[in-house]
Amino acid sequence: MKMRKLFAGIAAAATLLGGLAVGATSASAEETIVNDDATFTFTADSAEQLKNANLVAYKIGDYVQYGTTRTYSVATNEANKAAVDKALASVFTDFVTDDQDNLAAALNEGKLDISATRPWNTTAESVASTSRNFANALAEENLQAGKAIGTLEPTGSDEDGYKATVTLPAGIYLFLDANTSTIDKVTVAIPMIVASGTVSGDALTDPVNGDNTVNMKNTKSTDQKKEVGRAYAAIGDTLTYTLTGAISNPAPTAFAFTDTPGTGLTVKAGTFKVYTVGADGDIEDPSSDFTFPEVDVKGDGNTSFDVTVKDPSKYVGQTIKVEFQALVNDEAVVEDGVVNELYNYGEPIKVTTKLGSFDFTKIDSDNKGIEGAEFQVLDGVEVLYFVKQDDGSYKKAASKDTEGATDTLVSAADGTVKVTGVDASVSKAYTVKETKVATGKYLDLKPTFYVYFNNDNEAGLSTTRTSDPWGLVNTTDKTVKNVKSVDQLPLTGAAGTILFTVMALLLAGAGATVVLKARSKNAKA
């Protein structure tokens, strides 16, 4: 690997510093630090890994040239010698001394190994990586003379990967990611040690040109997801939301779901459940390792709340699932439905639950609207309450305790009754009962009909022989008729059939009477 070449080269150079290599140099030869520019290349699977990094380079090792020869050695950078020595001492007990260049000695003796694949904390033999421990310890020290690289400008593609280059004087560097954001889609990169140069045999022959490449040690987090349990609901209903996200490996410094409920939603504090989902799909019990709202959150489209993992490293590589409930309150805007938004690292996910509506018209025998007829709407056996929006227009109330709530709907001057804020799910049905006939000497005939919703969530009306025996409800036109006399009845329902039967019986009876009377007269003659 590239890092193996790196440390092999550094070790070779370190042997020169320790006087262990055969060469034409002497201790009295002029020593010059190589300051020629070298190009360092950072590679990544995604462009975001490079663009989101905010790198600072700290030189920890210099390349020293002896005289005019092509003989080089390694020396700890003077500005960061104290930090390097302290970091080495934390990794290797009883190794650091004052009579040696400790970085060169560590390389010469092969104490610094190669960290393998993600999460870059072990060797290929699954042994804890001393190089990783050294880099991490060094990052905690008071490093000096850092050079801000800033953000990187990547080139490449999703198929072939991405890369970005940085130009610095030749040497050994510790690169730190100064991006401190805890909500970015890309995690903060762990410390990276990179060196320039080319190794030939056992010696560093070119301190500038070489592979000089390192893979960015950060992670593009997977997208968070958000779902709602219902596509349609009514004001007063309770919705269940589910948030899902995976914790990267290595773990980010912080992990949270940031949720913004919209107007018309009240998130209930006591309903939160947090789970970890294992690789086998099992769901574990929630623990106290998470924080979430302790009071209800009333949505307005701007107020957010967080569900936070206290220690992401405890759940590295695992998927976190959060469930909570929200009440659809009286402020819900029927036309828009209720919207809930998940931050998702700046790429919001919006889920909407829509609110349904239906309408009908009260008419007379001349198909003119009738004002003042009264109705009730039932969900099963429960009488629903509404708040009047306008003449003949009513929005469902969250409960009977809602200000202005009424269980009586009154037809407008044109006979219309519009109901909004109801559940328009295919499986949903409502019962509408006429409870009072409009004034105007109308017959006291009060039908009942049913509202259902089709696959397009459009409302339709239906009746039964018993709910509307007079045939007053026209399900096609969505009208409900009132009449002032029997002869104005539509004669289409059960009552119409009965009426025709009665008339037929009366006519038959009259005929029989005539016959009987005729026979009686004939008998007397």
**Over the chain, what is the mean pLDDT?**
87
pLDDT (0 to 100) of residue 281: 60
Q: Is 380 exposed, middle or buried (0-12, 13-18, 19+ CB in 10 A)?
A: exposed
Peptide bond into 119 cis (omega under 30): yes
Handedness of CA 460, 465, 471, 472 (dihedral sign): negative
Mean pLDDT of 40-58: 94
Residue 66 confidence class, pLDDT cut points 50, 70, 90: confident
The single residue listed with the structure tokens 């890369």 is 163
Of 160-169, 187-196, 271-280, 340-349, the least confident: 271-280
Residue 29 confidence class, pLDDT cut points 50, 70, 90: low
Cβ contact 195:21 at 8 Å:
no
Q: Is the pLDDT of residue 237 over 90?
A: yes
Dist. CA 21–CA 37, nearest whole Å? 27
Mean pLDDT of 154-168: 96
Residue 43 confidence class, pLDDT cut points 50, 70, 90: very high
Residue 131 confidence class, pLDDT cut points 50, 70, 90: very high
What are the phi and psi torsion angles at 453 (to 5°)? -130, 135
Dist. CA 46–CA 29, nearest whole Å? 47
Closest CA to 483 of 504, 492, 393, 502: 492
Dist. CA 15–CA 28, nearest whole Å? 17
- What single-letter amino acid sits at 469? P
pLDDT (0 to 100) of residue 491: 59
Looking at residue 337, the DSSP 8-state letter turns out to be -
Q: Which domains does the chain carry?
A: 2-215 (no CATH), 225-347 (2.60.40.740), 354-492 (2.60.40.10)
pLDDT (0 to 100) of residue 200: 80
CA distances from 386 to 87, 397, 436, 494 (A): 71, 5, 17, 32
Q: Is the pLDDT of residue 26 over 90?
A: no
pLDDT (0 to 100) of residue 230: 96
Dist. CA 381–CA 399, nearest whole Å? 15
By three-state DSSP, how is residue 176 classified?
strand
- What single-letter amino acid sits at 390? D
pLDDT (0 to 100) of residue 253: 85
Cβ contact 76:138 at 8 Å:
no
Q: What is the pTM of this model?
A: 0.80
Provide the total of helices (H) and of strands (E) in the chain, helices listed first. Answer: 6, 36
Residue 69 CB coordination number (10 Å): 11
Considering only residues 507 and 308, tell me which one the structure prediction assigns the higher pLDDT. Answer: 308
Residue 236 CB coordination number (10 Å): 22
CA dihedral 135, 139, 141, 142 (to 10 degrees): 130
pLDDT (0 to 100) of residue 282: 61
List, for residues 384-443, the tens digit of each pLDDT value: 999 999 999 999 999 999 999 999 999 999 999 999 999 999 999 999 999 999 998 899
